[in-house]
Chain A
Amino acid sequence: MLAYIVRRIAYAVPILVGVNLITFALFFVVNSPADIARLQLGVKRVTPQMIHNWEQQHGYDKPLIYNGKAHGLETVTDTIFFNKSLKVFAFQFGQSDQGRDISNDIVHRMGPSLALAIPTFIVGIGLNITFALLLVFFRASYLDASGVIACVILMSISPLFYIIAGQFMVGKLMNLVPISGYHYGWEAAKFLILPVIIGIVSGIGSGTRWYRTIFLEEFGKDYVRTARAKGLSEMKVLFRHVLGNGLVPILTGAVVILPLLFMGSLIMESFFGIPGLGAYTIDAINNQDFAIVRAMVFLGSVLYIVGLLLTDICYTLVDPRIRLD
């Protein structure tokens, strides 16, 4: 097992290098730092001196890959590629274009993101499984058919509508909870309950339908027939056999996104004013703060790869037929 994990981590390194190269190409080759400086300073009436100052302030006044003026090892280290791109491997994200320390910001903003994402995720999965089991239990009945239709309708509505409508109805018309904002500690529940509910509702259509398909697929398998032939009740077949086996794909599907919960939800957080990483990213996009976007791209990729690794480990734990050697 340990050998497998080590091998998988080693396998992740070239992928992260690839991600790094892509972001480097995207952020520094497509547009030179001078172009970005011009945009930050306002396109018109920018003097070369102002651009040079901006570059110097933010550490962009270096050659891209190879520094001919420096000596020894510095020909490689005193470059944009080394300072801005390679250092993220040590999780040194440096400073944002506004001059704040990105690593520090990320650590501070992780809490609110998780406080929103974890309840949404757990309650959401629980509800989706419950509904899916209900539909499967009454399969090929009117309840099942209308449930599927409801699912398709629910998933055809843009998540933005759920947010706007929920915020408007519950927050503004009924005045039950504050529309947006955040408070650290237990007070946060007041601010989180509405986004959590909306997050669950907007995911219920596609989730339930997907899980229903998984359970139905299990129902067609031989072991279900065997279980029925043994004389087990339908309830027992459903909960013992179908649920247990159906959970394997569900769990592994969920584990992939587990680490990504750290990144928060972009639209939820910005709509509800929750100071998490999602809102951080949106603010960075709107302010065109490329240092932050670059850091988030890398962080997201790392978390995704961690998710894949966890998935594989999870497979071995829940499904004894799969062995990693």
Chain B
Amino acid sequence: MPVFLTTDVLLYLLLAAVAAFVFYARRKKYLRDPWVRVFRRRSGMIAMVLLSAYVAVGVLDSVHFRPVAGYGPQGQAHYAPQVISVLDWIATPLRKHTEKTYSAPFATRLFVKETVPGPNGKERRIYPRLKWAGAGLAHPRKQELGNVLYLGSVGAVEGLAATALLTLLLAWRLARRREQRWRAMLARILRARTDIPWRAGLLTAAAVLVFVFMCANLSPHYHLLGTDKVGQDVFFEAVKSIRTGLLIGTLTTLVMLPFALLLGVMAGYLRGWVDDAIQYLYTTLSSIPGVLLIAAAVLMLQVYMENHPGLFATTAARADLRLLFLCIILGITSWTSLCRLLRGEALKLREADYVVAAVGLGVSRLRVMTRHLLPNMMHIVLIQVVLDFSGLVLAEAVLTYVGVGVDPTMNSWGNMINGARLELARDPVVWWPLLAAFLFMSVLVLAANVFADAVRDAFDPRLRSGTV
């Protein structure tokens, strides 16, 4: 039975909007050209491939349903109470393979000693074998390395095969569009003789695919990044956190964009008391330090949720609503800068010849704003949105640490880092949850930053030269 969480629906809407834009922009040269410039840069291409991998995981994790738990006497299905996503379903072994408590990456034994009854009736304190990791091995110490290498290399071969398939597919498509022979096209791609750096993109895709297939092969049999305090697979947690990070980075923008656009254009174009009122609004909001405003709002939300427990059907819905609210409040604190930029641009554009001409021809003010001003400001919006993304992903971790971030039950890098603080104080140190959060988060933020640079350079005519 499908379940639609609020954030899921918003994410679908966003994806639909992006898809519609791509479809629309494909045939318009002036819209397509800057994007082609983004992809002509090798760094932009690589970042895009990495981001697509993240988005794919995030989308898989955003299709929720309640699995069938069993069938009644008349054959009607009973649904399980908990909501899972397609990603959960794909990664069922990871989700179900929970150990007792901490275990190190690739370990076959628990991280802490336990008292177990020995063969001769005496109690012994040993590191017990893990329930799932390396379960099929009789002598893990001798066999583990061979087994890991075998499974890993099978994954690598599968990943390379998938890349080869992808390459052929790409060569065939490009060849058909340009009416060339696909072999010639393939040779050009492999020698990097194409306008768009396909080879760099394919190499990145190869790295991603090899990683994915290796993980897919290894993770049912070992805990790649260990297990956490309650024995859950840390690798799985880090993967699940991708959705939270992506949602915070994108939904915040989606929420704030209408306000920033509407108010910014109105302030800049209409001037007068409208301008004064809007300027007053954003100056007031931006003069409250962001963290404090977010903290105050989230605290108040907590009070509200505590006092109205009946509003939320499940814990998932509750966590989801909290995430959405966090996006809204982050949006409220961050729309002001975009609004200010748009107002400045509208002030400039209202004197432009084409706007003056439109006004002279008797075009209504609403139409001037929507048809003449808005489309000519979109590059500013795009640059700002892409630049904000990485900052928002980082902000999630900090806010969660402060205690005003996402719900503690939700998988997020912030929650993982938060827990890691106590784990580092243990002796011996439990370092893998921190490492997992660090790896997954840094790659996403790095890719987003590089992509943002490529987008800014491609779209901002003022900056086109000069910066690297």
Q: Which A residues fall within an 8 A CB radius of B?
A: 14-15, 18-19, 22-23, 26-27, 30-31, 35-36, 38-39, 43, 140, 144-145, 148, 152-153, 155-161, 164, 168, 172, 213, 216-217, 220, 260, 263, 266-267, 271, 281-282, 285-286, 288, 290, 293-294, 296-297, 300-301, 304-305, 308
- CB-contact partner of A27 in B296, B450, B467, under 8 A: B296
Contacts of A308 in B (CB 8 A): 287
Contact bitstring B437-460, A, C-beta under 8 A = 1, else 0: 010011001100110010000000
CB of B295 within 8 A of CB of A285, answer yes
Inter-chain contacts of B280 with A (CB < 8 A): 14-15, 18
Contact assessment for B284 and A158 in the assembled complex, using a CB-CB cutoff below 8 Å: no
**Cβ–Cβ contact A161 & B299, under 8 A:** no
Q: How far is the CB of A166 from chain B (nearest CB, A)?
A: 12
Interchain CA distance A306-B83 in the complex, whole Å = 50
B161 within 8 A of A: no
* B71 on the A face (CB < 8 A): no
* CB closest chain-B residue, reference A144: B468
Query: What residues of chain B have their CB less than 8 Å away from a CB belonging to chain A?
Result: 280, 283-285, 287-289, 291-293, 295-297, 299-300, 302-304, 306-307, 390, 394, 397-398, 401-404, 413, 417, 420-421, 424, 429, 434, 438, 441-442, 445-446, 449-450, 453, 466-468
Chain B interface, >50% SS class: helix
CB distance from A138 to the nearest CB of B (A): 12
10 A-B pairs with the lowest CB-CB distances in the bound complex, closest first: A18-B284, A300-B289, A156-B446, A156-B445, A31-B303, A301-B287, A297-B292, A304-B287, A35-B307, A30-B300
Q: Given the interface contacts A160-B417, A213-B467, A267-B401, does A15 sit within 8 Å of B284 by beta carbon? A: yes
Give min CB distance, A257 to chain B, whole Å: 10
**Residues on the A chain within 8 Å of B306, using CB:** 38-39, 43
The smallest beta-carbon distance between B440 and chain A, in angstroms, is 11
B287-A281 in contact (CB<8A): no
In the bound assembly, the distance between CA atoms of A216 and B297 in angstroms comes to 41
Are B287 and A293 neighbours in the complex by a CB distance under 8 Å? no
Alpha-carbon distance A158/B450, docked complex (angstroms): 16
> How distant is the Cα of A302 from the Cα of B438 in the complex, in angstroms?
36
A217 (CB) vs chain B CBs: closest residue: B466
Known: A30-B304, A285-B403. Is A297-B398 also a contact (CB below 8 A)? no
Known: A164-B424, A288-B303. 14 other contacts (CB 8 A): A22-B284, A30-B304, A43-B306, A157-B445, A158-B442, A160-B398, A160-B417, A164-B421, A267-B401, A282-B403, A285-B299, A286-B403, A293-B296, A301-B288
Question: In the complex, which of the residues B287, B402, B449 has the most CB atoms of chain A within 10 Å of its own CB atom?
Answer: B287
- Contact assessment for A15 and B295 in the assembled complex, using a CB-CB cutoff below 8 Å: no
Quick one: given A31-B300, A161-B438, are A293 and B295 in contact (CB under 8 Å)?
A: yes
CA distance in complex: A157, B421 (Å): 17
Closest residue of B by beta carbon distance from A43: B306
Is B445 within 8 A of A43, CB to CB?
Answer: no
